[in-house]
Amino acid sequence: MVTKLKEVDAVVVGMGWTGAILSRELTKAGLNVVGLERGPMRTPRDDFAIPAIRDELKYTNRHELFQDTAMETVSLRHAMSETALPMRRHGSFLPGTGVGGAGSHWNGATWRNLEVDYVVRSHYTEKYGRNAIPADMTVQDFGVTYAELEPHFDKFEKLCGISGQAGNLRGKKIDGGNIFEGPRANDYPNKPLARNFASSTFDTAARSLGYHPFPQPSANASEAYTNPEGATMGQCVYCGFCERYGCESNAKASPNVSVLPVLLPDPKFELRTNSYVKKLNYDRAAKKVTSVTYVDTRTGEEYEQPAGLVILGAYVFNNTLLMLYSGIGTPYDPVTGRGSVGKNYCYQYTGAGVTVFFEDAETNPFMAAGAFGTIMDDFNGDNFDHSGLGFIGGGHISAGLSNGRPIETRAVPPGTPRWGKAWKEANAKWYRRWFNVAGTAVNYAYRDNYLDLDPTYKDALGRPLIRMTYNFKENDYKIGAFLSQKSAEIAKAMNPTIMTEPRFRRGDYDSRPYQSTHNTGGTIMGTDPSTSVVNRYLQSWDASNLFIMGASVFPQNQSYNPTGPLGALAYWSADAIVNKYMKAPGPLMQA
Amino acid sequence: MTEVKLPRRDFLKAAGAASAAGAAAATGIAACSPAAETAATAPPAEPEIWLTLNATEAAFVKAVVDTLIPADELTPSGTDVGLATFIDRQLAGGFGNGAKLYRSGPFLPGKPEHGYQLALSPRDFFRAGISEANAWTTKTYGKEFDRLTVEQRNEALTAIETGKAQFNGGFTSNFFFDNFLQLSMEGFFADPMYGGNKNKVAWKMIGFPGLPASYREEVKTYFNKKYDKEPQSIADFS
Ligand SMILES: Cc1cc2nc3c(=O)[nH]c(=O)nc-3n(C[C@H](O)[C@H](O)[C@H](O)COP(=O)(O)OP(=O)(O)OC[C@H]3O[C@@H](n4cnc5c(N)ncnc54)[C@H](O)[C@@H]3O)c2cc1C
Ligand code: SF4
């Protein structure tokens, strides 16, 4: 039996970064908002306190804060001809659950996309000709530009108290910042974090080769900070237990620290935890979502929550699953190329580089913050000439360590056995004396990389699992070879005692080792309803009262971590909802 | 100290107390010193208790962790740092019983890139793996793994690690080894409260200081300088 509840102005599915931001903006605009979060409540006081939070086995290896794969997971096949198998344990990516979502246990690397990232198809075609983009590479323009998003990036950076160094202030290039970034109206709210051995050694070497390194923009606050909402952050203590952990010092921006302290007391907001949204109820004739059905995971009871406005902030996989399962929009068909729900799933191509070892150094890897290091963008986007390279896009190269947690983060020189006396001696010698120099690349969309419903495997709510058909492609391998070579050149300039051969990922996408929780696509944005799921305001083309948030709207993935860009898009969409949609509810763009 | 009869496996535990007494003896106050008395009347070391491993499995696990982590000047052996206890507890608990593991069928053999695809819980996977490993060493050396000499253990474990040992029953020996090694590394480097990494020996071996309170100043003052503080564990903060 389903209990039907009283209608509310707006329902928000998921209480991660995007759900929290949209809830806040809509309540501020006067709406009554109900937030539905499948996981439990999480507060810094109860859930992120020391000493319990400094437990590597529990949080990193036993996935304390991540989505429970026994309940729900994703199936994987590398090609359409194969049978997908479920990822029975998460490895390569780690979706969050509970209040704060993955935003409560992220690193905090916070970016603005490059200007070119929003216009990938038009830019590369115009500059390098029609053949620059392979026929089966289905990259698209976002339908919104960096200039339009600039004030919203600014707002997200201020919400998070980002620590960084501007490189392009209103068109003026600033040495020490990222000179390749688009013009920004304001500097970062906080100065950059301290530097460690890895990041300063890399900085010196990159500079000596004529590159333009800069400190990683970070949501780990270099100073205590009060954001424009009035929420306060502490100062980062470089605890080395950042990503995969909640912050004990309230120094890492998160929905829990940056938004919820002001949102939760608001009488216009009601948060329901342990509320797993199963389905959106769709009125096809009216082109509206009338309500959402959710399960109280404590009792198994089902509820129907009617709402005037529906916001999806349930991360890439549930955003796409809820659209497909609810029958909203046209599922993508890779054979005909028609339909768009599930289209352009992308990931991140990481780890193209080298490991360096320094006999006499003390890198102190355990004194570290989550987003902590030196980056260079000289080979990112179209910041360098692509003529004759055989690939488009690029990546950022970085050095620095986010932790020295010993189960996960150790390196020994090539040729060391994996156990025994020699293994012990190598760990004793090198644990404090190495770091990586590596590139993280864009990952562009292809016709046969997509999401749909698995024909066999089901989740705990009885819905099909999301099936991922995905593999890396030639463009990725070529960037990988290129970035690993560049990384090696810089590493060599550091004069390390030992340096590994340049390496990059080859072969099938591997679901086991952690790479990044940077999954994108599935409900992509655009200006043409035949090739996108949401319009440039993130409004569904098929249901005018439905807005979809998060990286699922990226038409392809840039080299940067996604949260800065998806935070800016959340504010951009909230602005359109409040200032356009609420004044005249209906489609904001004509199909 | 030698008059205190200890089972061989517990000898090293008592050795710590013994050397403290030895140091006191060297200062000439041995006979009636409290240190000497404590050592002489030390209660017998804790009996070995297993939550889930049977005797054959326990013997195998101890022999393997002693091969992975041999006693030397850096640390005591795998068994003596508590790795067998750690593995037993992990297999008996949520992890061993398949917590956070998607366990709906059909169970099909995948590519390595698909990760774990067996129908077995980790507990049952270790049960099956141990029995395959012992079957293989019995066929090859005429003995179960824990009865082999140190040289034979190294050789056998290398064969298991590289997949040269033939396993029946749906998974390769190297797949079993990788899972065993991962669990052992977790135990060796985890907080000592889990039973492995006794006395923080693994943290001391590599120079990991354990739980920080704050490195706000240290991140600058220890730039490229050795930070050799006594490691702190969760118990030290509690
Ligand atoms: C270890 C780690 C490190 C990371 N580091 C970085 C970084 O340095 N920089 C960066 O930019 N990004 C990073 N990320 C990614 C970042 O966390 C995400 O981009 C960000 O949290 C996405 O916000 P979101 O609101 O879209 O989704 P989420 O934060 O994932 O929130 C989605 C919420 O929806 C809930 N939900 C899902 N389905 C349902 C349903 N059916 N019903 C009800 N609720 C539902 C989930 O439980 C979750 O709470 C990292 C992620 C991880 C895991
Ligand atoms: S590194 Fe800094 S921001 Fe991250 S958890 Fe530790 S104190 Fe918090």
Catalytic residues of A: 518
* Residues A308 and A361 both lie in one domain: no
Cβ contact B186–A61 (<8 Å): yes
Beta strands in A68-113 (DSSP E): 74-77, 85-86
pLDDT of residue A14: 98
In chain B, which among 164-193 make CB contacts under 8 A with chain A? 181, 185-186, 189-191
Q: Is A309 inside any structural domain?
A: yes
Asked if residue A204 and residue A126 are part of one domain, the reply reads: no
Task: Count CA atoms closer than 13 A to A281's CA, side-chain side.
Answer: 14
Question: Are the CB atoms for A87 and A511 separated by under 8 Å?
Answer: yes
A277 and A137 part of one domain = yes
Q: Tell me the chain B residues in contact with residue A428 when contact means C-beta distances shorter than 8 Å.
A: 74, 205-207
Tokens, residue A367: 């004194």
Is the CB of B116 inside 8 Å of chain A's CB atoms?
A: yes
- Per-residue pLDDT for B9 more than 70? no
Residues A422, A386: one domain? yes
For ligand 1, whether the C-beta of A39 sits within 6 Å is yes
pLDDT in tens, B101-143: 999 999 999 999 999 999 999 999 999 999 999 999 999 999 9
Query: A314 C-alpha to center of ligand 1: Å?
Result: 8
Answer whether residue A469 shows pLDDT above 60. Answer: yes
Q: Is residue A417 located within the same domain as residue A458?
A: no
Count of structural domains, chain A? 2
3-state class percentages of chain A: helix first, strand second, coil last, to nearest 5:
25, 25, 55
The model's pTM is 0.94
Cβ–Cβ under 8 Å, residues A160 and A255: no
pLDDT at B197: 97
Helix%, strand%, coil% for chain B, nearest 5:
55, 0, 45
Under the banding of pLDDT at 50, 70 and 90, the label for residue B31 is: very low
Q: Domain of A113: which CATH number?
A: 3.50.50.60
Q: Do residues B160 and B174 touch, judged by C-beta distance below 8 A? A: yes
- Least confident range of B33-42, B46-55, B98-107, B212-221: B33-42
Strand ranges, E, within A134-268: 168-169, 172-173, 214-215, 225-226, 232-233
Over residues A386-438, the pLDDT tens digits come to 999 999 999 999 998 899 999 999 999 999 999 999 999 999 999 999 999 99
Radius of gyration of chain B (CA): 21
The pair of three-digit structure tokens given for residue B196, joined into one six-digit string: 């492995």
When pLDDT is cut at 50, 70 and 90, the band that residue B189 belongs to is: very high
Distance A385 CA to ligand 2 centre (A): 38
- pLDDT number for residue B13: 38
- Closest-CA residue of B relative to A368 is B219
pLDDT digits (tens, 9 = 90+) for A62-106: 999 999 999 999 999 999 999 999 999 999 999 999 999 999 999
pLDDT of residue B213: 74
Which neighbouring-strand residues pair with A370? Answer: none
Contact A374, A412 (CB under 8 A): no
Report, as an integer, the average pLDDT of A196-223: 98
- The answer to whether residue A226 sits within a structural domain is no
Cross-chain Cβ contact A50/B191 below 8 Å: no
A299 and A384 in a single domain? The answer is no
| Model confidence at A279: pLDDT above 90 | yes
Asked whether the predicted pLDDT for residue B8 surpasses 70, the reply is no
* Tens-digit pLDDT profile for residues A327-353: 999 999 999 999 999 999 999 999 999
Read off the pLDDT of each residue in B31-45 and give the average, rounded to a whole number: 46
How many angstroms away from the CA of A86 is the closest CA of chain B? 8
Mean pLDDT of the residues in chain A: 98
Report the gap between the CA of A520 and the closest CA in chain B (Å): 20
Strand partners, A453: A466
Residues 6+ apart with CB under 8 A from A189: A157, A158, A161, A162, A163, A225
Tens digits of per-residue pLDDT, A354-387?
999 999 999 999 999 999 999 999 999 999 999 9
pLDDT band at B51 (very low <50, low <70, confident <90, very high): very high
| Residue A241 in domain | no
**pLDDT band, very low/low/confident/very high, at B42 (cuts 50, 70, 90):** low
Pair (A404, A303) in one structural domain: no
Together in a domain, A421 and A556: no
- Residue A292 lies in domain: 1-145+251-348+449-468+516-591
Q: What is the mean pLDDT of chain B?
A: 86
Show which of residues 424-483 on chain A sit within 8 Å of chain B, judged by CB atoms: 424-425, 427-428, 431-432, 456-458
**Same domain assignment for residues A411 and A454:** no
Question: Which candidate from B191, B202, B222 shows the least CB-CB separation from A55?
Answer: B191
Establish if A49 touches chain B: CB-CB under 8 angstroms. no
Mean pLDDT of B198-225: 95
**What average pLDDT does the segment A463-469 reach?**
98
A404 and A380 share one domain:
yes
Instruction: pLDDT band for B15, please (50, 70, 90 cuts).
Output: very low
- Both A431 and A321 in one domain: the answer is no
Is residue A182 in some structural domain? Answer: no
- pLDDT higher than 80, residue B76: yes
List the single range of A137-151, B15-29, B102-116 with lowest mean pLDDT. Answer: B15-29
- In the predicted structure, residue B6 carries a pLDDT above the cut 50: no
Contact indicator for A84, A75 with CB cutoff of 8 Å: yes
**Count of other CB atoms within 10 angstroms of residue A518:** 23
Which of A358, A407, A512 should we substitute to test contact with B (largest number of B Cβ atoms within 10 Å)? A407
Same domain, A276 and A341: yes
The pLDDT value given to residue A236: 98
Contact (CB<8Å) A428/B208: no
Q: What is the pLDDT of residue B212?
A: 79
